[in-house]
Structure 1
Amino acid sequence: MRRREFGLKLLGLCFGSLALGCFANSLQRRGRKMESRRLPRLKVFDDPNHPNNRRYIVTETGEPFFYLGDTAWELFHRLTRDEAELYLKDRAAKGFTVIQAVVLAELDGLNTPNAEGHKPLHNNDPTQPNEAYFELVDWVVNKAEELGLYIGMLPTWGDKVNKKWGVGPEIFTPENARVYGEFLGRRYRGKPIIWILGGDRPIESERHLQIWMAMAEGLRKGDDGEHLITYHPMGGQSSSQWLHNEPWLDFNMCQSGHGARHFANYAMIERDYNLKPTKPCMDGEPRYEDMPVGFDPQKGWFNDYDVRQAAYWALLAGAHGHTYGCNNIWQMYMPGKHNPVLHARRSWKESLQLPGATQMSHVKALMLSRPMLLRVPDQTLLASDPGKGAEHVRAARAVDGSYAFVYIPVPKPVTVRLDKLSGREVRAWWYDPRTGQAELIGEFKREGERTFTPSGTGETDWVLVLDDASKDFPPPGKVK
Structure 2
Amino acid sequence: MKLILFVLTGLAGTAFAQAPWANGPLQVSANGRFLQHTSGKPFFWLADTCWLAVQKFSREEAKSYFENRRAKGFNVVQCTAVQMLTDKTVYGDVPFAGGDVARLLTTTGSDPADAEQYDYWDHLDYLFETAAANGIYLALAPTWSHTVRRAPIPADKAARYVAALAQRLKDRPNLIWLNGGAAKGDVDADVWQAIGVAIKQHDPRHLMTFHAFGRTQSSSWFRDATWLDFHTFTSGHRRYDQDTDGKRFGEDNWRYVLDDLAKSPRKPTLDTEPSYEDTPQGLHDANQPYWNADDVRRYAYWSVFAGACGHTYGQNSVRQVYKPSDPRPSSGAKHFYTAVLDAPGAGQMRHVKNLMLSRPYFDRASAQSLTAGDEGEKYDRVLVTNGKEFLMAYTSTGRDFKLALGEISGAEVAAWWFNPRTGEAAKAGTHKNTGTVAFNPPGEPGRGNDWVLVLDDASKAFGPPGAGAAR
In the alignment, the residues of structure 1 paired with residue 87 and residue 157 of structure 2 have an alpha-carbon distance, to the nearest angstrom, of 22
Q: 4+ residue runs of structure 1 moved beyond 6 angstroms?
A: none
Are 1:451 and 2:438 an aligned pair? yes
Query: Residues 98-145 of structure 1: CA distance to partner in whole angstroms, max 9, x if unpaired?
Result: 11000112xxx3224211111111222111112210000000001111
Which residue pairs with 1:321 in the alignment? 310
Aligned match of 2:183: 201
Tell whether 2:223 aligns with 1:234: no
> 2:23, 2:81 → 1: CA distance?
23
Distance 2:141 2:185 in 1: 16
Asked if the contact 2:286–2:331 (Cα under 8 Å) also holds between the matched residues in 1, the reply is no
| Residue 89 (1) aligns with residue 67 (2) | yes
* Secondary structure of the structure 1 residue equivalent to 2:185: coil
| Residue in 2 that maps onto 1:282 | 270
RMSD over aligned CA atoms reads 1.6
Q: Tell me the equivalent position of 1:266.
A: 254
Q: Give the Cα–Cα distance (whole angstroms) in 1 for the partners of residues 49 and 431 of structure 2.
A: 42
2:77 equivalent in structure 1: 99
Q: Does 1:222 align with 2:202?
A: yes
Alignment of 1:6-155 (within 5 A): 39-47=22-30, 53-105=31-83, 109-131=84-106, 132-155=119-142
Compared CA separation, residues 37 and 54, structure 1 to 2 (3 A): closer
Aligned AA for 1:92? R
Which residue matches 2:155?
A: 174
Partner of 2:377: 388
- Hey, what does 1:433 align to over in structure 2? 420
The 1:149/1:238 distance shift into structure 2, 3 A limit, reads: same
Contact 1:407–1:464 (8 Å) recurs in 2: yes
Once residues 160 and 286 of structure 2 are traced to their aligned partners in structure 1, the CA distance between those partners, rounded to angstroms, is: 43
Question: Any conservation in 1 of the 2:179–2:210 contact (CA below 8 Å)?
Answer: yes
Distance in 2 between residues matched to 1:383 and 1:431, nearest whole Å: 21
8 Å Cα contact 1:39/1:148 also seen in 2: no
Q: Is the 8 A contact 2:27 2:38 kept in 1?
A: no
Larger RCO: Structure 1 or Structure 2 (Cα < 8 Å, ≥ 6 residues apart)? 2
1:368 to 336, 340, 357: 357
How many angstroms does 1:204 deviate by? 3.5
Residue in structure 1 matching 2:348, options 359, 363, 374: 359
Q: CA deviation at 1:63?
A: 0.6
Q: Distance in 2 between matches of 1:450 and 1:359?
A: 29
Shift of 1:173: 1.3
- Residue pair 1:37, 1:190 contacting (<8 A) in 2 also: no
Task: Report sequence identity in percent.
Answer: 36
Q: Is the 8 A contact 1:39 1:145 kept in 2?
A: no
Return closer, same or farther for 1:38/1:382 CA change in 2, 3 Å cut-off. Answer: closer
Deviates more, 1:134-143 or 1:338-347: 338-347
CA contact (8 A) 2:142 2:178 kept: yes
Evaluate the alpha carbon distance shift between residue 154 and residue 435 of structure 1 in structure 2; reply closer, same or farther with a 3 A threshold.
Answer: same
Q: CA contact under 8 A between 2:384 and 2:392: conserved in structure 1?
A: yes
Q: Any unmatched runs of 5+ in structure 2?
A: 1-18, 107-118, 241-249
C-alpha distance in 2, partners of 1:187/1:336? 31
Distance in 1 (CA, whole Å) between partners of 2:407 and 2:75 is: 32
1:297 aligned to which of 283, 286, 299: 286
Asked if the contact 1:125/1:171 (under 8 Å) is kept, the reply is: no
Matching residue within 453, 476, 480 for 2:465: 476
Contact 2:23–2:41 (CA<8 Å) still a contact in 1? no
Contact 1:184 1:222 in 2 (8 A): no
Instruction: Give the TM-score of the pair, scaled to structure 1.
Output: 0.86
Q: List per-residue Cα deviations over 1:1-55 (Å, max 9, x = no partner).
A: xxxxxxxxxxxxxxxxxxxxxxxxxxxxxxxxxxx996554433343xxxxx111
Give TM-score, length-normalised by structure 2: 0.88
Measured against aligned partners, the alpha-carbon deviations of 1:352-401 in whole angstroms (never above 9, x if no partner) come to: 11010110011111011011212101101111311111111100000xx2
Cα pair distance change 1:40/1:212, threshold 3 Å: farther
